[in-house]
Amino acid sequence: MAFHSLAIGTSALLTARYGLDITGQNLGNIDTPGYARQRLTQNATLGWNAGLNNAVVGTGVGIKSIKRVANEYVEKQLRMATSTDVHYGNLRNCYSNVQSFFNEPASGNAISDAMNSFWDGLADLSGAVENVPIRVTALNNAEAMTMRFNRIAEQLDTYRTTVNEEVRESVYQISRLLGEIGQLNSAIVATEMGGSTGMMANDLRDQRGEAIKELYTYMDIDVVEEPNGSAIVSVHGRTLVYFDQVSAIEMEQRLSNGLQVAMPIFASDRYPLEPKDGQLAAQIEIRDEILLSYMDELDKLAGTFIWEFNRAYSQMRGLKSFDSITSQNPPLNPEATLDKLVFNDKITPGTFKIVNGEFELIIENRNTTPPVETTINIEIDLDGRLAPGGEPDMILWDPNNPEASNSLINRLQKALDDAAPGVFEVSIGRDYRVSIKSKSNGYGFAFGKDSSGVVAAFGLNVMFTGHNAQNMGINKSLKDTPEYVACAYSFREGDNDGLMDLIALRDAKVVAGKGMTLDEYYQSVAGRLGSEANRTANLKDLQEDILHRMFVQREEVSGVSEDEETAKLIAYQRAFQAAAKYISIVDVLYETLINM
């Protein structure tokens, strides 16, 4: 130990140099995301007995550890706050987008504006029912309203498809992060030798911490660190990462409201991955709950509008009688009783409500002046009981028994033949569309009272086609021949009684189960949208405040302070200079001793 003085100086020099290196590392990473500042701790090395009255002489200074300055509780709270902030951020963006689709708050181009223009157009027509240009304007207003419904439905559907793709991307990123965490676990355990040496893989831990933080943005997870330095990552009791073993996440396709949605599942047992917070949870909620909810509300409004209007409209007439007409709504099962028909285009059962009752068909003999009208009544037997003659409830048509007496096709043909033999033909197409045709220019027909709803349900004398917001449209035959627009209950000049009844629907409480008018129902939907948007925006603002506070707390513990590190630089510089000066003095002393 003869040269222990030089050893003391050397240890001091090296310690000061390492202190400078660590301080430089901190300053170099002052803007690195997730970096936790490092701190050098040093201690005096063990002394030795110099043999002078048992005096123990020190041997210098040593590096005890290089530690990450981090508070795991604060880190976890920051990650959780980040997850919730991202969650509400996605929801806020969703509601903002939906509001823009609906053009609410009202901007002059909302559905309510289009509906008001439609009703106002009918009011204008009521004062001049024979005026064809005004009829065309009313039809244009109706078409503009249907296009507004179509546009919003299309935007919601496209947005839902986009979010579905975002779900796929989120699951891809989750799988990437899980793999990255597993690799970092392995590297950390190898570097720290399972915790047996006290060595800390600080930079690797920073990288893992940042990967875990990013994973929190996608979903709410739990992280537990093992004694060997490995981190166990789980979600609601299901392990995602254990050391370097990673649970594979796959996508399962499920049909939901016409869309093949991607559902994340664990590959091992097909169990669903159902996060409660973070971006993935928000995206699934947006796709499967929020957007579907407003799509359903919009469809209910459109469907109710179509049905209620057409049901009243179908009992009226235009300026002239029909020569022929074909139904708009073909059923898939014509042999079912009329109240149990399943219509095409995946119309929800019950949308078109056919009940026990009857409807009128008016035959117009144009060969006389004035024309002579004959009204025939077609009974729609749906009482669930056998008639005295043993006849069951009415069906549309039975392909296996075309002559069935309880077929509407046969019943209608017989009634027309009884009133005007050989003049009219009732047929059913291969797609089960019903057609009524006059074979003589001297005869036409119109529709009258209908207590069964069968005319509107089949779409025989209607203004609107479709059954929801996406396929709502205008009867093309009306656009081609505006004279067919129904406004009256007779062909009497100036008769607008039917039109006035249609206009009265504007204030009728027709929305089932709601006791609301169509406009009131729409306003309730728009009001809920505004309320939920404001609530989500407020929660997002609150969460941003929480996140900011947690970030500040984290920076107070782990952040790099330029002033503090600069002060350390000066301190270590002086320590380095002092050690160098000490070594220089010792060198002179040893040289003197050697030369004596």
- What is the residue extent of each domain of the chain? 4-69+559-595, 71-312+503-558, 323-460
Two tokens, residue 583: 């070594």
- The phi, psi pair for 584, rounded to 5°, reads -60, -45
List the one residue out of 338, 332, 366, 365 whose CA is nearest residue 352.
338
Instruction: Tell me the pTM.
Output: 0.88
pLDDT digits (tens, 9 = 90+) for 138-161: 999 999 999 999 999 999 999 999
Within 10 Å of residue 58's Cβ, how many Cβ atoms? 13
Greater confidence (7 vs 355) lies with 355
Two tokens, residue 222: 């739990």
Distance of CA 28 to the CA centre of its chain: 42
Q: What pLDDT shows up at residue 482?
A: 95
Which helix (H) or strand (E) element contains residue 573? helix 562-595
pLDDT digits (tens, 9 = 90+) for 559-568: 999 999 999 9
Q: What pLDDT shows up at residue 1?
A: 44
Cα separation, 155 vs 152, in Å, equals 5
Helices (H), strands (E): how many in the chain? 13, 18
Cα separation, 319 vs 481, in Å, equals 10
Q: What pLDDT shows up at residue 496?
A: 95
Residue 433 has pLDDT above 80, yes or no: yes
Average pLDDT over all residues of the chain: 92
Torsion sign across C-alpha atoms 530, 534, 539, 544 = positive
pLDDT digits (tens, 9 = 90+) for 99-144: 999 986 555 678 999 999 999 999 999 999 999 999 999 999 999 9
| Amino acid type, 496 | N
Greater confidence (27 vs 390) lies with 27
Tell me the Cα Rg of the chain: 41
Using an 8 Å Cβ cutoff, are 448 and 362 in contact? yes
Q: What pLDDT shows up at residue 107?
A: 58
Residue 569 has pLDDT above 80, yes or no: yes
Q: What pLDDT shows up at residue 309?
A: 97
- The CATH topology of domain 323-460 is Immunoglobulin-like (2.60.40)
Distance of CA 185 to the CA centre of its chain: 35
pLDDT digits (tens, 9 = 90+) for 304-360: 999 999 999 999 999 999 999 999 999 999 999 999 999 876 677 677 889 999 999
